Amino acid sequence: MKHYLIVIFCLIISIPSTAQSDSWFYLTARDSTVEVPFVKEGNYLKYTGNNSRLKSVFENYKISEFKKTYRRAKKEDLDATFFVIADNSFLLEDLLQTSGGLFKRGEIIPDEQKKIFEPNDYGLTSTIGGNEGFAANLDYLDFLGLPEAWYYTTGDSRTIIGISDGAIDTTNIDLKDKTKIFHKSPDVDGHGTSVAAIAAAQGDNGYGIPGVCYDCAIYGTTYGRFRTFEILQELSKAGAKVINCSWVGSYNTPEVQDEVNEMFARGTILVAAAGNRGWERNKGEMSYFPASYDNVISVSSVNYKYENIEDNILKSDNNKFYIENIRGYVGRTGGFKNNDITQAVSTYPVSVTTLNKDVDILAPSNGQLRFTHSIKEGKPVYITIEATSPAAPLVSGTIGLMFSLYPCLPVTEVESILKMTSTNIDHIEANKPFAGKYGAGMLHTGRAVKMVFDMFAEKGPVTIENQSFNRWNFKLTSHAEVILQNQTFKDDASLNLTSKKGITIGKNTVLKPNAKGKIHLQIDPTLQKECELQLRDPSIMKD
């Protein structure tokens, strides 16, 4: 077998977008009272309203979808945003110009962003999917890129996600036909049921909400046995590809580390919540387990909802201005210097979940739907605090999707893919006091699953970009060309990258490890796939 160590120079590569016949766009009405009624006639919609201007416009187009959605809607426009599919993009311009002020702006959706799939129970942000389950705002799944991930896979019943937690309600419609319980666990206010639902609640069944890996199976067991991981070993030996542990403690032993290593060697990845002890108590110095064991992916929480600070400035009872749930901030809340909203924001340490050097990645918690409580109360109930228990199963579900798409994915490369495709948050000033303690950044399920597809589809390049790493050991084996751009591996970081077709070092890429790090780039044209991609729709290969 021949291997080649390579030196690479910058290249500029353009990738053509996929042609699409229909036009998709968002349309924002002047206020929430605007309704645009249609009825289905054959494959298209017919306008049934009384507005003569709209009627004359709609008569010139074939419209497949015209519905209200929360997707991409600003806070003030949640009930005034529409998603539209029509045969021509000129419809958007016509509506803005001739509707008499009913609509104030619109946005054409690029062809590449049409590569999505949504189930029929996707809630209030659904576009091409439905809202037959809970009328819930699942915008955190949009933020994670779940529709983009589901384009490739919605999971596979042969992919098993282990849940070590409180009792799981196996009578619930979203869980009953897919869950096997190994050891009964006490009910902890629905904690186990909710964690299982986040990871893998059944989707596209017209009920509840979809979990991340909604066609994956669930193995459930009890939790909190710190002196031995026998209960986790049982799930691993039964075939679980990932086991979620949304529980923490301080007890740890070398013997349990050996058990973790044994499960990892068997092909099982442990994902664990980092803990909820705020920064004001541990200052990033305390480790908790199982999250801080080697070969465990430690997950803490991050915020996602509002893109800019000014989108959610609130006022407390004592007239203090503060921000909450700002995208990329590790703290749920923060205040302004001198109570002046034009000044810098400082994070309230009490609103930060456990951060330490062992944290690998962040995922949202504040704003997530509380599955069990929503069922009990008969209406959507959302998490309003920072927490790591609901963040971890988002990562576990993502790993389930990755293995469902390519069952032969090396277990040693999963964490690298998650980190390489995460969203960097180092530039946020309010995060700088916590630097080095919040892992690689924010989970992005859509990019992680797409990277797996790109690695083995051999259709286009794998792109590693927009991150900066100064630690961790990264390993990636791609059957497609790999492009690195706007990417840094330095200091203690190591990169072991093998490609079957080539490696390109693009612009703004820095490969500068110190004595503890290492860069190894290799082309191996003899690489052979161990299995084939398992796509939701095989025709995707023709895109």
Shortest CA distance to 197 belongs to which of 163, 222, 157, 229? Answer: 163
Plot region of 390 (φ>0 → left; ψ -120 to 50 → alpha; else → beta): alpha
66-78 pLDDT per residue, tens: 999 999 999 999 9
Taking the mean position of all CA atoms in its chain, how far away is CA 329?
16
288-341 pLDDT per residue, tens: 999 999 999 999 999 999 999 999 999 999 999 999 999 999 999 999 999 999
> pLDDT at position 435, please?
98
The strands making up 345-347's β-sheet, listed across from edge to edge, are 313-315, 321-324, 333-336, 345-347
Strand boundaries in 208-316, DSSP class E: 217-221, 240-245, 269-273, 296-302, 313-315
Q: Which CATH superfamily is domain 139-301+352-420 in?
A: Peptidase S8/S53 domain (3.40.50.200)
**Is 187 a residue of the active site?**
no
How far, in Å, are 170, 193, 239, 516 from residue 157 at the CA level? 16, 19, 12, 42
**Is 191 a residue of the active site?**
yes
16-57 pLDDT per residue, tens: 333 348 999 999 999 999 999 999 999 999 999 999 999 999
Contact 343, 336 (CB under 8 A): yes
410-457 pLDDT per residue, tens: 999 999 999 999 999 999 999 999 999 999 999 999 999 999 999 999
Mean pLDDT, the chain, whole residue set: 95
**Is 14 a residue of the active site?**
no
> pLDDT at position 6, please?
36
Residue 10 has pLDDT above 50, yes or no: no
Q: Which residue has the tokens 């669930």?
A: 218
Residues 288, 227: Cα–Cα separation, whole Å? 14
Q: How confident is the model at residue 15 (pLDDT cuts 50, 70, 90)?
A: very low
> pLDDT at position 125, please?
98
Q: Which is catalytic among the residues 99, 169, 191, 396?
A: 191
Q: Domain coordinates of the chain in residue numbers?
A: 4-15+453-542, 23-114, 139-301+352-420
The strands making up 81-86's β-sheet, listed across from edge to edge, are 63-68, 81-86, 23-29, 103-108
333-365 pLDDT per residue, tens: 999 999 999 999 999 999 999 999 999 999 999
> pLDDT at position 282, please?
86
Nearest-5° angle of CA 114, CA 119, CA 124?
85
> pLDDT at position 337, please?
95
C-alpha dihedral, 174 to 178 to 184 to 188, nearest 10°: -20
113-138 pLDDT per residue, tens: 999 999 999 999 999 999 999 999 99
Residue 477 has pLDDT above 70, yes or no: yes
Q: In the numeric block, which tokens belong to residue 411?
A: 């277990």
Residues 107, 83: Cα–Cα separation, whole Å? 10
> pLDDT at position 479, please?
99
Q: Name residue 251's amino acid.
A: Y
Q: Which is catalytic among the residues 121, 165, 215, 454?
A: 165
How far, in Å, are 56, 179, 268, 355, 359 from residue 296 at the CA level? 60, 23, 10, 15, 10
462-475 pLDDT per residue, tens: 999 999 999 999 99
Q: How confident is the model at residue 13 (pLDDT cuts 50, 70, 90)?
A: very low
Q: In the numeric block, which tokens belong to residue 113?
A: 């962003």
Tell me the average pLDDT across 161-165: 99
222-267 pLDDT per residue, tens: 999 999 999 999 999 999 999 999 999 999 999 999 999 999 999 9
Tell me the average pLDDT across 476-499: 99
Contact 325, 405 (CB under 8 A): no
- Helix/strand/coil (H/E/C) assignment for every residue in 190-227: CHHHHHHHHHHCCCCCCCCCCCCCCCCEEEEECCCCCC
> pLDDT at position 416, please?
99
Q: Which is catalytic among the residues 185, 298, 300, 389?
A: 389
Contact 388, 365 (CB under 8 A): yes
Mean pLDDT lowest among 4-8, 350-354, 365-369, 409-413: 4-8
Residues 283, 529: Cα–Cα separation, whole Å? 45
Residue 9 has pLDDT above 70, yes or no: no
Residue 11 has pLDDT above 70, yes or no: no
pTM of the model: 0.95
How far, in Å, are 188, 223, 233, 236, 513 from residue 230 at the CA level? 22, 11, 5, 10, 39
Q: How many CB atoms lie within 10 A of CB 49?
A: 12
Contact 344, 429 (CB under 8 A): yes
Shortest CA distance to 473 belongs to which of 523, 422, 413? Answer: 413
167-178 pLDDT per residue, tens: 999 999 999 999
> pLDDT at position 7, please?
36
Contact 193, 175 (CB under 8 A): yes
